[in-house]
């Protein structure tokens, strides 16, 4: 089996390298932040996204009729991996989740209004599925949407809406039929985040980043801003989650942190002895390096299946997300153990080993095993859909 990239793909990688070199800036490229795709917003970051847009790299996989270049998904994968290698913002939710879902299911009006703005990096989105009693079981969402002439009135609450404090648009699921079985009574809407009926409260996370609670008080939304068919929202959300599980969890930072740990082991001493001579330490980093290769291949298997299927493959998305995010935690845990108490010093502390990166990733990597669907949920999906085991709840 040949896992090499083609000459054309390697030439694209060189182009991306040159772009990164030409736009290198500490304000947009920060290796010590774990996920630049969605959690921060600055004028410099938006300017960087516009440059990516000008290169035509935001719509790589989109059809030409919607302004994309109809390229294979491998280019989008290569771009995102390269960008995350240097801690730069990646294509994120607009292109990877909302845009792709609109192309498949949105009305002509929504496509005309949103797709060009996404491609030109003019708007950011927040995604609202989770609620206080609907996290893993997102289909239990209760945010109420009631018909009011040509409009809908939305009332209720969301939790964990990342980016709501800076994004322009809210991609939000609401219950439009309370009497239907829970998966068949949900509809997706697009709501402007500056709507006066929305109140946004910060939720600080243990990883040091902000997510939000959002309260809806009679938020009127025109029916034109309903996405796809009435009560089919959960089907669209499931597809969008498959995209999210792959698009938002890049592999390159995990490999980089594993390499950083290996470099540390090569040079550091403990009790006057070189760490590299400790057999347990050697075995642990060797194991992590091997697991990195597994994560890389699971990522490629998602890309290959998506190209073959033409739609996001559920099993591969769950397998990659489960393995990669748990590996990321194992790398962080091993770094804490091997580097020792100094690893608890945070970024900016004088003499913090590896510039304080370990403390930051130790807390942040927990989040990745929860957001986008917790590890247990990925295992349930694999058990049911890939292995054909009965539903467990
Ligand atoms: C930092 C962060 C950012 C987020 N951003 C967003 C966002 O932008 N938009 C959004 O909509 N959501 C977002 N989420 C929410 C995320 O999707 C949910 O936290 C996640 O789905 C888990 O839901 P929960 O927190 O309610 O936990 P629960 O669903 O209450 O789960 C608690 C525990 O029980 C386990 N569990 C639950 N059900 C089962 C089951 N059937 N079988 C086995 N184990 C089970 C879970 O794995 C978990 O360990 C974010 C979360 C975090 C932490």
264-to-15, 84, 252, 340, 347 alpha-carbon distances in Å? 31, 21, 18, 12, 17
Q: Provide the b/e sequence for 117-132 (b: ≥16 CB within 10 Å).
A: ebbebeebbbbbbbbe
86-to-83, 89, 123, 259, 309 alpha-carbon distances in Å? 6, 9, 23, 14, 31
On the CB side of 379, how many CA atoms lie within 13 Å of its CA? Answer: 9
What ligand 1 atom has the least distance to the C-alpha of 164?
Answer: 8
**CA–CA gap between residue 9 and residue 208 (Å, rounded):** 36
What is the SS3 assignment for 49? helix
Ligand 1, CB within 6 Å, residue ranges: 127-130, 135-136, 160-162, 205, 211, 367, 370-374, 376-377, 380, 393
H or E, element range at 377: helix 375-381
Write out pLDDT tens, residues 307-317: 777 777 888 99
Alpha helices for 94-193 (secondary structure H): 100-105, 108-119
User: In order along the chain (393 residues), what is the average pLDDT of each group of 10 residues?
Assistant: 84 97 90 63 91 95 94 91 91 89 96 97 96 96 98 98 96 97 97 98 89 97 98 93 82 93 95 95 98 95 81 87 96 96 88 85 90 93 93 68
What ligand 1 atom has the least distance to the C-alpha of 163?
Answer: 8
**CA–CA gap between residue 96 and residue 243 (Å, rounded):** 7
With 0-12 / 13-18 / 19 or more C-beta atoms within 10 angstroms meaning exposed / middle / buried, residue 39 is buried
Minimal-distance CA residue to ligand 1 atom 23: 135
**CA–CA gap between residue 248 and residue 310 (Å, rounded):** 19
Q: What is the pLDDT of residue 349?
A: 87
Minimal-distance CA residue to ligand 1 atom 31: 136
What is the SS3 assignment for 363? helix
Looking at the DSSP bridge assignments, the partners of residue 115 are none
* Cα angle, residue 354 at apex, residues 350 and 355 outer, rounded to 5°: 40
32-to-11, 344, 360, 364, 367 alpha-carbon distances in Å? 28, 15, 8, 11, 15
- Residues with catalytic roles: 244
Mutate to test the pocket of ligand 1, among 40, 370, 379 (most ligand atoms within 8 A of CB): 370
CA quadruple 85, 89, 94, 98: dihedral sign? positive
**CA–CA gap between residue 362 and residue 349 (Å, rounded):** 16
Mutate to test the pocket of ligand 1, among 98, 128, 130 (most ligand atoms within 8 A of CB): 130
Ligand 1: centre distance to CA 132 (Å) = 10
Place of tokens 């970024």: 347
Tokens of 84: 């995350």
Looking at the DSSP bridge assignments, the partners of residue 346 are none
Ligand 1: centre distance to CA 358 (Å) = 24
Mutate to test the pocket of ligand 1, among 136, 366, 392 (most ligand atoms within 8 A of CB): 136
Ligand 1: centre distance to CA 370 (Å) = 5
Ligand 1: centre distance to CA 367 (Å) = 10
Q: What is the pLDDT of residue 34?
A: 61
- Which residues lie below 8 Å from residue 121, measured CB to CB, with a gap of 6+? 46, 49, 50, 52, 53, 58, 94
Alpha-carbon Rg for the chain, nearest whole angstrom, is: 22
Ligand 1: centre distance to CA 7 (Å) = 41
**CA–CA gap between residue 42 and residue 47 (Å, rounded):** 9
On the CB side of 342, how many CA atoms lie within 13 Å of its CA? Answer: 12
Ligand 1: centre distance to CA 162 (Å) = 13
Q: What is the pLDDT of residue 371?
A: 87
Write out pLDDT tens, residues 163-176: 999 999 999 999 99
What ligand 1 atom has the least distance to the C-alpha of 380?
Answer: 42
Ligand 1: centre distance to CA 26 (Å) = 32
**CA–CA gap between residue 347 and residue 354 (Å, rounded):** 9
Mutate to test the pocket of ligand 1, among 248, 371, 379 (most ligand atoms within 8 A of CB): 371
Minimal-distance CA residue to ligand 1 atom 27: 135
């Amino acid at each position: 089996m040949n896992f090499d990239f083609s000459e054309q793909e390697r030439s694209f990688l060189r182009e991306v390298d040159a772009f990164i070199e030409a736009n290198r800036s500490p304000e947009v490229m920060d290796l010590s932040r774990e996920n630049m795709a969605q959690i921060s917003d600055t004028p410099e970051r938006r300017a960087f996204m516009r440059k990516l847009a000008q290169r035509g790299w935001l719509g790589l996989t989109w059809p030409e009729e919607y302004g994309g270049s109809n390229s294979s998904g491998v280019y989008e994968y290569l771009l995102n991996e390269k960008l995350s290698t240097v801690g730069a913002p990646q294509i994120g939710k607009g292109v990877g989740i909302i845009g792709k879902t609109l192309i498949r299911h949105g009305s002509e009006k929504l496509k005309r209004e949103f797709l060009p703005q996404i491609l030109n990096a003019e708007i950011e989105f927040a995604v609202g599925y989770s609620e206080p009693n609907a996290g893993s079981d997102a289909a239990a969402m209760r945010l109420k949407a009631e018909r009011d002439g040509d409009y809908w009135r939305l009332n209720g609450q969301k939790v964990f809406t990342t980016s709501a404090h800076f994004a322009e648009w809210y991609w939000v699921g609401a219950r439009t039929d309370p009497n239907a079985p829970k998966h068949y009574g949900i509809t997706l809407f697009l709501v402007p985040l500056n709507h006066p009926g929305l109140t946004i409260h910060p939720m600080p996370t243990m990883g040091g980043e902000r997510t939000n609670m959002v309260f809806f008080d009679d938020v009127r939304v025109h029916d034109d801003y309903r996405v796809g068919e009435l009560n089919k929202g959960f089907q669209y959300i499931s597809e969008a989650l498959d995209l999210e599980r792959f698009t938002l969890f890049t592999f390159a930072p995990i490999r980089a942190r594993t390499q950083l740990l290996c470099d540390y082991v090569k040079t550091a001493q403990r009790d006057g002895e070189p760490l590299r001579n400790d057999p347990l330490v050697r075995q642990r980093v060797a194991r992590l390096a091997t697991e990195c290769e597994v994560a890389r291949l699971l990522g490629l298997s998602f890309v290959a299946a998506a190209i073959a299927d033409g739609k996001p493959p559920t099993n591969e998305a769950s397998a990659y997300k489960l393995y990669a995010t748990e590996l990321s935690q194992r790398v962080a845990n091993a770094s804490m153990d091997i580097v020792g108490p100094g690893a608890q010093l945070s970024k900016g502390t004088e003499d913090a080993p590896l510039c304080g990166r370990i403390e930051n990733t130790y807390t942040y990597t927990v989040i990745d095993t929860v957001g986008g669907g917790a590890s247990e949920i990925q295992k349930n999906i694999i058990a049911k859909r890939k292995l054909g085991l009965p539903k467990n709840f």
